[in-house]
Amino acid sequence: MGRVNFGVSAFFIFCLLGLSANAKVFNIGSKPGCDITKALLKAFNQACQFPTKSTVLIPKGEYKLGEIEMMGPCKAPIRIALQGTVKADGNAVHSEKWIAFHNIDGFKLNGGGVFDGEGNAAWRVNNCHHTWKCKKLPISIRFDFVTNAKIRGITSLDAKHFHINVIGAKNMTFEEVKIVAPAESPNTDGILVGRSDGIKIINSFISTGDDCVSVGDGMKNLLVERVTCGPGHGISIGSLGRYGHEQDVMGIKIVNCTLQETDNGLRIKTWPTAACSTSASDIHFENILLKNVSNPILIDQEYCPWNQCDKKKASTIKLSKISFKNIRGTSGNKDAVKLLCSKGHPCQNVELGNINIKYTGSDGPATFQCSNVSPKLMGTQVPKACSSPVTKTLK
């Protein structure tokens, strides 16, 4: 009977730690306050070579963590359980990444812990929001060519640059992820995804200084659901067309989300004088609540920050099969809806249904502008569709 009780107790201990009782656990073996860069890499490499599924455990406490790249392929599914807080170097370090996971299949990252990018000093010297000729700052967490993965219950705090960047991924889910940085922190995009297939971002909170979710070229089959965004720059498809050899975007669904106090809302942006001729299609925004959101619905095919392009040349990015349905709430400026499509490639198959966006500012009622597009309208439209003269976007 004593042996049975011991087994049950051990089982409950594993459950309390959030660990699987039949997975090999590799503990970093470091005390709080230590630099765990070498210890974490050693534990990861050991777990990666283990023949059955394993867990790398970072216990509760605060730890220092330098730049690190954890690379597969691994012999079996691997999990990192971050229960504590890892903190980056607080100086303005110029590099491409802080933490990277590369070429791993069957990956999990969870545990309720925090990745603290210590971005304050870096934001003061970051000028990348004014010019693209700037020194890059590290992305907090990169997932490169990670497949069949689930990221759950972690927090990314105060990234120096992007919080999370995903490229080359397949079948990857972010759930109950929290991303936080001040509204004035530059280029701190929440989750940037591109050249991936089958990504889900659900039940998450993103409050940052740039796009909450940014969709880059080559993204296919993305679901963003029950995400609260703001402050920040909203949820953006693009920008597209800045570089040559970009890939098509298709199959994007943004549903049941809340945007609050953001500089933009639901946005698709492409460059004039685009360096490629790709397309973005099958993009759907549905059941979105707006709370004092500026530019709530925006298609901008004249996106040209820093005036580094010729707006007289039409964008060559083709937009089609786009819908905005059941979008309701309040706007932070009078430009409630702006559909500014390319004169060279007018938007095709754009649908709007049950739009109800109110604005109470002193400069007049909310406006609905259309250029190079004839949208299909369903249900109510507040403000009245395509009823306002077109004005140019400021950024």
Q: Following CA atoms 151, 136, 205, 232 in sequence, which dihedral angle do they give, to the nearest 10 degrees? A: -160
Question: How far is residue 216's CA from residue 196's CA, in Å, rounded to a whole number?
Answer: 9
φ, ψ for residue 75, nearest 5 deg? -75, -20
Q: Is the peptide bond before 383 cis (omega within 30 degrees of 0)?
A: yes
CA distance 283 to 83: 37
Burial 261-278 (b: 16+ CB within 10 A, else e): ebbbbbbbbbbbbbebeb
User: Per the structure block, which two tokens stand in for 388?
Assistant: 């306002």
Among 36, 56, 27, 52, smallest CA distance to 44 is for 56
The CA-atom distances, in angstroms, between 313 and each of 244, 273, 302, 372 are 16, 5, 9, 14
Could you confirm whether 102 is annotated as catalytic? no
Distance in angstroms (rounded) separating the CA atoms of residues 305 and 307: 5
Catalytic one of 233, 245, 284, 345: 233
Instruction: Answer yes or no: are the C-beta atoms of 210 and 232 closer than 8 Å.
Output: yes
* Cα–Cα distance for residue pair 101/107, rounded to 1 Å: 9
- CA distance between the termini of the chain: 71
Pairwise CA distance, residues 320 & 279, whole Å = 8
Q: What positions carry a catalytic annotation? A: 233
